[in-house]
Chains A and B, each alone.
Chain A
Amino acid sequence: MQQLAGNQYVITLDDDPMVSRIIEKSISLRSLAFSTLTEFTSRVPNIEPLAVFVDIHLANAQSGLDIVPQLRARWPYCPIIVITADPADDFLVDAFRKGADDFLLKPIKPREVQARFQTRLAHLQDRAAKSALQAGDVSLDTAHRVVTGPVGRQFLAPVETLLLAQLIKAKGTVVPKETLKREAWGPVRVSDNAFYRKLFELRRALEGVSSNVKIQSVYGAGLSLDVQTSVTPMLNAL
């Protein structure tokens, strides 16, 4: 099994406490166990698990699927594995639509847990590496259209994602407006108004995540990404 750092953990949301223990032992990682949606939801903003195991049918008529879209948006590269006792569960289709990566059937079998966890983790880590672009302290996840910086995270529209990706790949050089239009909209003809509206939205999203990365307009030439490297207080003093 792949060696993982000691402070990493997974989450298990299941009203049966046995499930969390079996998962924990199967993958040799600590599992934080939650039995209700309310309990889990309140902790989501403060945790960064390596994977989440979610039972579809929880106690009190709650469905674990209700939280899957929220988890997928928050942790784009965290394997979400749903658990069910029914092999023909119609809810499985819904689970995949909502962003789940895989499923486990009860009874939980240790070897199956290991295999699915390892496979999904490796797959998502590979995707994360391929779809991540970096410019200064800002990173763009093109697969999930999320831009993240030191002061926040913003979701982008598809066109905004393509525009920002092009500007990041240009590494500070000026990209002509027509090139950006072609890359973002393809063969569709786009007015300057529509282009600048998207640019305005993108600039606003960038402002929401970092003050060090800005889109600069170069009159008559195009646009470029201006990346300020942050100066540490110690260097400042020198």
Chain B
Amino acid sequence: MILIDCTTQEIQSMSCLDIELLRGLEELSPPGTESLVVELVKLFADSTPSILEELRSALAQGELTSASRLAHRLKGSAANIGAAKMSALCAQLEKSAQTNQPEVNNALVERISASFTASLLELNSYICA
């Protein structure tokens, strides 16, 4: 999935995970070796909470450029692990953070945070399936 501008409706109807991408990553781990997807999910789970905190803090202090950059960073890492919906929400925030709309931006951060949790749950289900 290529990250282009998605409307809010499109994001709502979007699947949480990009299964095709995850299958492509699975192919890189031959049977009997440690799964790359498992390793990547751990990296994603470990690194994301601190970036989300930085993002909240940047918005609270009105550091909009910094917030936009952090959203961009999360957009890329979410996309790399197949968390498509979260990535699309981050793309929205990356843009909206460039304009001073505190309510919209704060609401988006919370949706990203919820999407992160949902993505981790679905990724765990994918790994265990």
Query: Which residues of chain B are near A108, meaning CB under 8 Å?
Result: 80
> B6-14, B71-79, B107-115: which one contacts chain A?
B71-79
B36 part of interface (Cβ distance < 8 Å)? yes
Q: Once bound together, how far apart are the Cα atoms of A57 and B1, in whole Å?
A: 20
Given A57-B69, A61-B69, A107-B82, A85:B36 Cβ within 8 A: no
Q: Is the CB of B76 within 8 A of A106?
A: yes
The 8 Å CB contact of A25, one of B21, B29, B65, B82, is B29
A22 part of interface (Cβ distance < 8 Å)? yes
Count, A-B residue pairs, CB within 8 A:
70
Q: Which residue of B lies closest to A84 (CB)?
A: B76
> A11-19, A70-78, A212-220, A225-233: which one contacts chain B?
A11-19
Q: A22-40 interface mask toward B, CB cutoff 8 Å, 1 = contact, 0 = none?
A: 1001100000000000000
B24 part of interface (Cβ distance < 8 Å)? yes
Distance in angstroms from B58 CB to nearest chain A CB is 12
Query: Which residues of chain B are near A143, meaning CB under 8 Å?
Result: none
Tell me which of A87, A105, A110 has the highest count of chain B C-beta atoms within 10 A of its own C-beta: A110
Distance in angstroms from B27 CB to nearest chain A CB is 7
Query: Which residues of chain A are near B28, meaning CB under 8 Å?
Result: 22, 25-26, 110
Q: B55-81 interface mask toward A, CB cutoff 8 Å, 1 = contact, 0 = none?
A: 000000000011001001101110111
Q: Once bound together, how far apart are the Cα atoms of A22 and B39, in whole Å?
A: 10
Distance in angstroms from A205 CB to nearest chain B CB is 43
Query: Which residues of chain A are near B36, meaning CB under 8 Å?
Result: 21-22, 25
Q: B31-43 interface mask toward A, CB cutoff 8 Å, 1 = contact, 0 = none?
A: 0000010011001
Q: Is the CB of B73 within 8 A of A16?
A: yes
Q: Once bound together, how far apart are the Cα atoms of A18 and B29, in whole Å?
A: 15
Number of interface residues of B (CB under 8 A): 30
| Chain A interface (Cβ < 8 Å from any Cβ of B) | 15-19, 21-22, 25-26, 55, 57, 59, 61, 85-87, 105-111
Query: Which residues of chain B are near A21, meaning CB under 8 Å?
Result: 36, 39-40, 43
The 8 Å CB contact of A19, one of B2, B3, B21, B80, is B80
Q: Once bound together, how far apart are the Cα atoms of A21 and B69, in whole Å?
A: 23
The 8 Å CB contact of A110, one of B2, B18, B27, B79, is B27
Q: Is the CB of A17 within 8 A of B76?
A: no
Q: Is the CB of A85 within 8 A of B79?
A: yes
Query: Which residues of chain B are near A18, meaning CB under 8 Å?
Result: 40, 43-44, 77, 80-81
Q: Is the CB of B43 within 8 A of A107?
A: no
Q: Which residue of B lies closest to A20 (CB)?
A: B43
